[in-house]
């Protein structure tokens, strides 16, 4: 599911404009966990990806040596995941399970997860808060939860730039952040509200930042080279952390929340 949510730009998960910032944060977090383990200990970590679809995140993580469980309601997406993991030689480290947030406890059992990911999925579930509670319940002690969700102000700006001022106003004032009945997403989030929702599960939020601040607004012709894409990614990373321009994070197409037990 999450693999299809965002507009695709060139590059792999680590270099594509829509995924690079999140990939960097997630792999950095996993690397820190590995470094904290005793010398000689197994460095493989357990990751659960809810709504992981065809494995855009799961397969690269498995290629790093981690054990990844993908839970998704779509049998077609999971079939594609199985083919992709086999083609990349990591089928033994990727488990595909048809299910949803309600089934997580039964799937995980006593083997809780070092990292639980929910990227591009919280927007479409029936009950986001209940889903967050289920996700938090399968995070191991010392483990982390990574949430990526569509952000409200980005679509307001996009509708304004498209000349759709009534739709922009509707997205700004509506409870669900939608611009109208034809909006393809069931809901969008404000960063502060999403942070509160995660904290209500009992987890401690460590970081909240916007991602894809500019990339979805830039014409593809202007980012046709690796150098252009690298420069834009570096600009977005700097802008999202700039102490004087923290508000820019609210304009990101998505918001990334990292929380720990």
190-216 confidence digits (pLDDT tens): 999 999 999 999 999 999 988 888 887
- 147: pLDDT strictly greater than 90: yes
Assign 18 a pLDDT band (cuts: 50, 70, 90). confident
pTM: 0.89
- 11: pLDDT strictly greater than 60: no
Q: What was the pLDDT predicted at 232? A: 87
CB-based contacts of 149, cutoff 8 Å, min separation 6: 120, 122, 123, 188, 189, 194, 254, 255, 257
- 175: pLDDT strictly greater than 80: yes
Residues 261 and 143: beta-carbon distance below 8 Å: yes
How many domains is the chain partitioned into structurally? Answer: 2
Same domain, 72 and 181: no
Tokens describing residue 164: 């759709």
Which residues pair with residue 106 across a beta bridge? none
Same domain, 86 and 172: no
Assign 142 a pLDDT band (cuts: 50, 70, 90). very high
Tokens describing residue 208: 């909240």
Q: To the nearest 10°, the Cα dihedral for 33, 39, 41, 45?
A: 20
Same domain, 100 and 165: no
Q: Given 142, 166, 188, which residue is the final one in a domain?
A: 188
CA dist 2 and 173 (Å) reads 26
Q: What was the pLDDT predicted at 6? A: 33
Same domain, 67 and 140: yes
Same domain, 66 and 163: no
Tokens describing residue 46: 């357990």
Q: What was the pLDDT predicted at 8? A: 40
Average pLDDT over residues 99-106: 95
Q: Given 172, 188, 204, which residue is the final one in a domain?
A: 188
CA dist 240 and 2 (Å) reads 22
Same domain, 58 and 158: no
Same domain, 27 and 122: yes
The enclosing domain of 122 has a CATH number of: 3.40.50.150
Q: What was the pLDDT predicted at 4? A: 37
Same domain, 74 and 48: yes
Assign 1 a pLDDT band (cuts: 50, 70, 90). very low
Same domain, 32 and 92: yes
Same domain, 116 and 243: yes
Q: Which residue has the tokens 């730009």?
A: 9
Domain with 176, as residue range(s), is 153-188
Same domain, 168 and 103: no
Percentage of residues in the chain with pLDDT exceeding 90? Answer: 71
CB-based contacts of 89, cutoff 8 Å, min separation 6: none
Same domain, 40 and 134: yes
Average pLDDT over residues 20-31: 91
Lowest mean pLDDT among 2-16, 23-37, 126-140, 150-164: 2-16
Q: Which residue has the higher pLDDT, 17 or 122?
A: 122
Q: Given 168, 188, 208, which residue is the final one in a domain?
A: 188
């Amino acid at each position: 599911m999450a693999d299809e949510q965002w507009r695709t730009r060139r590059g792999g998960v680590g270099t594509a404009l829509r995924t690079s910032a999140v990939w960097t944060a997630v792999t950095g977090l996993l690397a820190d966990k590995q470094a904290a383990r005793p010398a000689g200990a197994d460095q493989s970590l357990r990751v659960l990806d809810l709504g992981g679809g065809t494995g855009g995140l799961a397969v690269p993580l498995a290629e790093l040596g981690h054990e990844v469980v993908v839970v998704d309601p779509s049998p077609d997406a999971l079939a594609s995941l199985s083919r992709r993991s086999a083609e990349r030689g990591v089928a033994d480290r990727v488990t595909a399970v048809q299910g949803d947030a309600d089934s997580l406890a039964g799937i995980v059992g006593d083997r809780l997860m070092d990292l639980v990911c929910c990227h591009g999925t919280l927007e479409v579930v029936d009950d986001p808060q209940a889903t967050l509670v289920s996700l938090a319940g399968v995070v191991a002690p010392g483990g982390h939860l990574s949430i990526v969700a569509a952000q409200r102000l980005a679509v307001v700006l996009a509708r304004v730039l498209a000349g759709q001022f009534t739709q922009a106003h509707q997205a700004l004032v509506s409870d669900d952040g939608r611009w109208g009945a034809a909006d393809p997403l069931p809901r969008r989030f404000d960063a502060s509200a999403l942070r509160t929702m995660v904290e209500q599960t009992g987890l401690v939020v460590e970081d909240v930042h916007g991602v894809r601040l500019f990339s979805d607004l830039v014409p593809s012709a202007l980012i046709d080279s690796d150098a252009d894409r690298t420069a834009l990614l570096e600009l977005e990373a700097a802008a999202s952390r700039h102490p004087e321009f923290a508000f820019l994070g609210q304009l990101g197409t998505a918001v990334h929340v990292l929380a720990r037990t």
